[in-house]
Each structure stands twice: as structure tokens, then as C-alpha cells.
Amino acid sequence: MVEAMSHAIDIGYRHIDTAHLYRVEPEVGQVVNKKIEEGVASREDFFVTTKVWQHNHSPAGVEASVRASLRRMKLEYLDLVLMHWPMAISEDGVDEKIDYLDTWRGFESVLDQGLARAIGVSNFNVQQLTRLVESARVRPAVNQVELNLNLGQADLVSYCQGQGIVVVAYSPFGTMVPSRAYEGSPEPKLDNPTMVAIGKKYGKTVTQVALRYLFQRGIVSIPKTNTKSRVVENASIFDFELSPLDVAELAKFDNGFRTVRPVFWQNYENYPFDKIPLDPVPAIPESLKKWKNGINGDIE
């Protein structure tokens, strides 16, 4: 990750998306600060995003989480801090039932203190966002959600864009890439004839077509890779434009399929997705309860 991120910054990437959950904030900060020291980019050139996990949904917990992220990354401020999920769940897996409106007061305080220059949310549905916007002193700048060819979320995107909320897409390839594909997952895949034909028309790869499609919808994508060649490939989508006919063809893949569906949380208050009948509901993975950060798992 460090090598791929260093290469990405060298060739022009400036938006770094991380989170407390990812356990890599120390390494992210290490790379950013090294590139600043090398004169590759200034701190003002970077846009560093991190997220507050479910364990820290009290207003005081939000501030503690943000200060801990800053300490781990050795930064003075963050460009954007997101509420990772609308649910409040303790390290022991207990539903704390903290209203995300109360959590948001902590985010507004972080903004007021200059610890972050913008605040937003992640994995919020339309109803939750509407309620937040109606009561917030500062409306969220961003909603980061899963968006790809299978999961277009037109109503959510339309609502956000109408409210001036930037939509950021995680998992922008869905199950298209082999690392996410499994038996029975929907098309398109990398060898899908429609995708291949559209890519050939523009001299682009299938994944570049997928990213360009989201870009033309006014959506920011955050594709993830540790491969240097794909770091370059993912950024090379600004020299072509999909025709309206191709956009319409790609839109046909939208079937509401979620790649990320954490059903082990589905009975918790404020779970944002539709529920699936399960008996029993799987237990929360231990890896989502309590952890330390960094490659050696030794940083609080």
C-alpha cells in the first residue's frame, strides 16, 4: 500500500481516503508527510479523508476519534471527516442506540475547532440524510456510499446532488473485478461483451469505462488498488466521453445488487439498508469490534 500510494502521489493523485477501521492511518500519514518533505506536494495540495467508527458516536467520542486519527497520521487538520455508518455499536457489539443527530453535533464541533475543514457521512440512505439535513446546523458536505454499474442508487444520488452534497462512490467496480466476483454475482464482469465492445470503441479498459460512467453522473470514485499500472489506469479517464447511447446501455446493468451488505448489523438501530430474512443473523466479526492500528497492530 505504501509503495502504491507513493507512486500515486508522484503521478498526481491528491485525494487520500482512509479510515480508523482500515488500520493504516499511521502509514497514510507517513507517506503524506514524506511527500511534503520531498517537495512533491504541499499539505494544502492534499485532500485527506478519514472516518469515525461506530464505537465513537457520542459527541465527545467523535472528537476523541478525530484527535486520535490526527495523532496517528501526524497531521494538524483533516480535509474531510465522515461518520462511517449511522449505527452506534460498542466494541463489545452492543447497540448503543445513539441518535446520529447527536453524533453529528460532535462533527460540527470538530469543524468549529478547525480539526477538520469539512464533515460528512457514509452509508446514509435518503431518509436518514433528509432527517439530518433538516436538523443540522452544518449540512454534510459528502455522502460516501457504494455505487457501481449494479447499484446506481438514482434516488439517493439525485437527492444528494439536489442538496449540494457530493456523492463519493466506494466499490465502484462492484463484483466486476475478480477479487469481488463470486459464483452467481451479476454481470458485468471484465469479459462482458457489452463492456468490452464499449471499451474497444474508446480505446479504454472495461474498468475505465465503469469509472467514466460514474464521473459523467457527477460522482467522485475512490477505486482501490495496490498495483502501480492500475493506479495509472484508474486515473486515465478524463480524455474521452461516453456517448448518451453508451451511457443508456451501461445503465441497464443497474439491478440494485449490493456488493457490500453487512447483514450482521441488520437488526441494529439505524441500519441503512434493506434487511434479508436470516435465522440466525450472523455474529459481528471480531475484526470489526476492537483493534490497534499500523502494520504491526501496536498503535492505539
Helix extents (H) in the chain: 2-10, 25-38, 59-73, 100-112, 126-135, 154-162, 193-202, 206-216, 228-235, 244-251
**What pLDDT, on a 0 to 100 scale, did the predictor assign at position 112?**
98
Residue of 22, 182, 202, 271 marked active site: 22
276 phi and psi angles, rounded to 5 deg: -110, 135
- Residues 72-101: b if buried by 16+ CB within 10 A, e if exposed: bbebeebbbbbbbbbbbbeeebebbebebe
DSSP 72-83: HHT-S-BSEEEE
Residue the block writes with cell 446493468 = 253
**What pLDDT, on a 0 to 100 scale, did the predictor assign at position 16?**
97
* 22 carries an active-site annotation: yes
Q: Taking a C-beta distance cutoff of 8 angstroms, is the pair 88, 97 a contact?
A: yes
Cis-peptide, bond into residue 26, ω within 30° of zero = no
For 52-80, the pLDDT digits (tens) are 999 999 999 999 999 999 999 999 999 99
Domain range list for the chain: 1-146, 174-255
| The three grid cell numbers given for residue 19, joined into one nine-digit string | 479510515
Q: Taking a C-beta distance cutoff of 8 angstroms, is the pair 291, 270 a contact?
A: no
**What pLDDT, on a 0 to 100 scale, did the predictor assign at position 272?**
98
Ranges of the chain whose pLDDT falls below 50: none
Q: Is the dihedral of CA 68, 72, 78, 80 positive or negative?
A: negative
CA neighbours within 13 Å on the CB side: how many for 137?
10
**What pLDDT, on a 0 to 100 scale, did the predictor assign at position 117?**
98
**What pLDDT, on a 0 to 100 scale, did the predictor assign at position 99?**
98
Residue the block writes with cell 502504491 = 4
Instruction: Enter the CATH code of domain 1-146.
Output: 3.20.20.100
271 phi and psi angles, rounded to 5 deg: -60, 130
**What pLDDT, on a 0 to 100 scale, did the predictor assign at position 144?**
98
